[in-house]
Amino acid sequence: MTGRRNPLTHLSPGWCDLHFHVWHGGTDISIRASQAGRATGVTAMADAGSAGEASFHGLREYVIDPATETIKAFLNIGSIGSSPATGCPS
């Protein structure tokens, strides 16, 4: 033992991030939930408007339901959510 602290010995509860775009493939500005989730210490996240009322079913079926993290979603005011081409509200 050298007397130095090992940085890997610190323990923290799971983090919550309130602004993610996790509909990878649904919008150009999104990443996979697994890339920003448990591997980085985040166990709960909120998608910040990637989907609108007309496209939420896809976000739920392909991202939220299969994820190991807890994911909640804010709906975009635009019916389809963030535009796949630009990431801007439709």
- d(CA 61, CA 90) in angstroms, rounded, equals 22
3-state secondary structure of 3: coil
pTM: 0.74
Residue 7: which pLDDT band, with cuts at 50, 70 and 90?
Answer: low
Q: For residue 13, what pLDDT band results from cuts at 50, 70 and 90?
A: confident
Q: Which amino acid is at 28?
A: D
Whether 52 shows a pLDDT value over 50: the answer reads yes
Please answer whether residues 61 and 86 qualify as being in contact, where contact means their C-beta atoms are separated by less than 8 angstroms.
no
